[in-house]
Amino acid sequence: MARSARSSTTRLFYSLCSSTKRTPLTPQHPPPTPVAALLAGNFQLRHYAASSATARVREEKDAVWRESLEKVRNIGISAHIDSGKTTLTERVLFYTGRIHEIHEVRGKDGVGAKMDSMDLEREKGITIQSAATYCTWKDYQVNIIDTPGHVDFTIEVERALRVLDGAILVLCSVGGVQSQSITVDRQMRRYEVPRLAFINKLDRMGADPWKVLNQARAKLRHHSAAVQVPIGLEDDFKGLIDLVQSKAYYFHGSNGEKIVAEDIPADMEAIASEKRRELIEAVSEVDDKLAESFLNDEPISSADLEAAIRRATIARKFVPFFMGSAFKNKGVQTLLDGVLSYLPCPVEVSNYALDQTKDEEKVTLTGNPSGPLVALAFKLEEGRFARTAHFNIIFHQRIYEGVIRKGDFIINVNTGKKIKIPRLVRMHSNEMEDIQEAHAGQIVAVFGVDCASGDTFTDGSVKYTMTSMNVPEPVMSLAVSPVSKDSGGQFSKALNRFQKEDPTFRVGLDAESGETIISGMGELHLDIYVERIRREYKVEAQVGKPRVNFRETITKRADFDYLHKKQSGGQGQYGRVIGYVEPLEPGSGSKFEFENMLVGQTIPSNYVPAIEKGFREAANSGSLIGHPVENIRVVLTDGASHNVDSSELAFKLASIYAFRQCYTAAKPIILEPVMLVDIKVPTEFQGTVTGDINKRKGVIIGNDQEGDDSVITANVPLNMMFGYSTSLRSMTQGKGEFTMEYREHAPVSGDTQTQLVNAYKASKEN
């Protein structure tokens, strides 16, 4: 036994000696002793074994969290108003077992859809706020955000898409691709969100899914194809043919919960074969692997086609089109299967953060729960779920990396504040489920933490921030005031809350009249907030006439040279600024630029920030009609200062007066918001409606025919669109409908500018 141990030790020693690099025997390199070599060998073996075990454990952990995240889908449902988003979400919740009864958006029972939890939503039959929920389908966890379809609530779509991994674009089989469909699709492109399309309402009179598919290709520039073919349309809509699996599906039962799979009907085999080949061709154009099989005339299996569609969809090169009728309970389960099959899991989407310690260097987030915490707050709500004052604020957040636990301390990177998490929940519309922890890839809500939309949270080990979301500028304003002076406190509280919740809702004060001015995305947007002030805070508010948010800009370069000098005993004021203002190049991306081109120390550098501040302040109110000045560049070239009398205040005032001095010489003009208006009317009223658009100084840019209807597209100044809903109804016997969205600020006509300037001067004189 001892000999055996000694011999194995000797063998180990000799093997170590033979593998050791040979070096000359010198006083610095004495021959290794057997004991030293043996100890070194044992250490190496132990170290190797330990590192291998650690690597194995890490790999096992990685495999576990990857497997769990592969069974997660974060999706949003977006569409034009009245395309059936909320109805679709209601069916999804029913079939996944989250709710046990189906209620309609405008149902006779008065209950309303689950995701429309606000009283106003149920009364008006529209979605006002995005609502989050979660469900389980075939062992996959699906987190869903249902978003509004009305353009006035577009910020809800923006912030939902910012944090989602995939989306469903719902299109009406009759209305097709409409104005808000285009806007929503543009938002999906902005945030690089892979998507499926669902052609809804195939049971409606006039349903034509192939027309909608062609519109999507033309108007949305989708590379797309149908993955399903409807069996019948309108009242004859019975089921769907799955082109990937080559099966026909029928939906039986009182709520379509029983799915029956059968062979494709004989009379539809030809069209199914044609559409399947069309699908394979479309996917082959964007997927090399499938293209190789297709070009070689190899048989393409269902599994190969499904895998190719998934690759192309996740790469955002292809949009598969599903079909059905959510209201008639057909096609929703197959759409859910499509979400699992074709939309990405959190680890299949590239997410980036900006490292604030390395000059905002881009850092890829792996989605690893064992990594440092990185989470983005994308929506804030106050008061809606409150039971105590401590839990008065709730914010929704998407976790991109790491784990968040109840009781943890987290850091708000944007403010530097350290915050403890008192309560962690998962939302189900207006209900919630308490949880102890949440990991990367999940969407959760946190109570009792004050922050702003777009704030990034970490555990303190890294200083990362996520890129912010796009926030459109308000286009309309209203003067509001409480009827009773006693309710002023509640009125201010309501405005502060709504401003914090909604980045597109702004509150300001008219310096001349002292009125409170609220600004938003349109009439409906502001009307909803006035109504919420009345309902939620019991404050009756007086509302003034809607105002358009005009802007001013300059059209030519103008020089300024202004000396501000004041002496009234003691230290005076002295500051001289010289330079010029000029219009910015179109598409420059910024609205105001300041450039310091001083040479030498004619003005000490510590006064330059005050000069910039003065010009920015002056640009907040142009001299034409008192609205902000945009698209302007201020260049400071020279100036003068005084050793005693110069100060930041002196140079700030000099800048303000210099701006006013040169403004008229820069030929200022007024810009007004122009709306993209889509009007759908019976063809017999086309002439009347077109004439009315021309009277409103609109420019018609499109006129298409859809069956018996004319679809007129025009650019119309917002100032001319007030009360248009009533006018359109009277012109078309109540048969016309329209939608509009903000397009751009454009110069007003000369006579309009004169009227606006004269009205502004008259109001100042009064």
Is 147 among the annotated ligand-binding positions? yes
Tokens of 74: 């974060």
Is 30 among the annotated ligand-binding positions? no
Quick one: residue 498, left, alpha or beta (phi over 0 = left, psi -120 to 50 = alpha)?
alpha
Is 125 among the annotated ligand-binding positions? no
**202 near 325, Cβ under 8 Å?**
yes
DSSP at 105: T
**Beta strand pairing status for 547-548 and 476-482?**
antiparallel
Which among 352, 337, 339, 29 has a CA at the least distance from the CA of 166? 339
Which among 333, 175, 173, 176 has a CA at the least distance from the CA of 237? 173
Would you give the end-to-end CA distance of the chain in angstroms? 113
Rounded CA-CA distance 518/348 in Å is 42
**486 near 402, Cβ under 8 Å?**
no
Report which residue type is found at 349. V
Is 203 among the annotated ligand-binding positions? yes
**445 near 425, Cβ under 8 Å?**
yes
Rounded CA-CA distance 51/54 in Å is 5
Is 504 among the annotated ligand-binding positions? no
Tokens of 621: 């109110």
Is 396 among the annotated ligand-binding positions? no
Which among 88, 81, 120 has a CA at the least distance from the CA of 104? 88
Which among 625, 663, 597, 573 has a CA at the least distance from the CA of 764? 625
Is 606 among the annotated ligand-binding positions? no
Which residues is 394 bridged to in the sheet? 381, 447
Which among 164, 166, 154 has a CA at the least distance from the CA of 128? 154
Is 201 among the annotated ligand-binding positions? yes
Is 41 among the annotated ligand-binding positions? no
Is 746 among the annotated ligand-binding positions? no
Is 200 among the annotated ligand-binding positions? yes
Rounded CA-CA distance 129/457 in Å is 24
Is 84 among the annotated ligand-binding positions? yes
Is 149 among the annotated ligand-binding positions? yes
Is 39 among the annotated ligand-binding positions? no
Which contiguous run of DSSP H or E holds residue 249? Answer: strand 247-252
Is 80 among the annotated ligand-binding positions? yes
Rounded CA-CA distance 521/660 in Å is 31
Which residues is 573 bridged to in the sheet? 566
Is 202 among the annotated ligand-binding positions? yes
Which contiguous run of DSSP H or E holds residue 257? Answer: none
Report which residue type is found at 291. A
Is 516 among the annotated ligand-binding positions? no
Pick out the residues of the known binding site for GTP.
79-86, 146-150, 200-203
Pick out the residues of the known binding site.
79-86, 146-150, 200-203
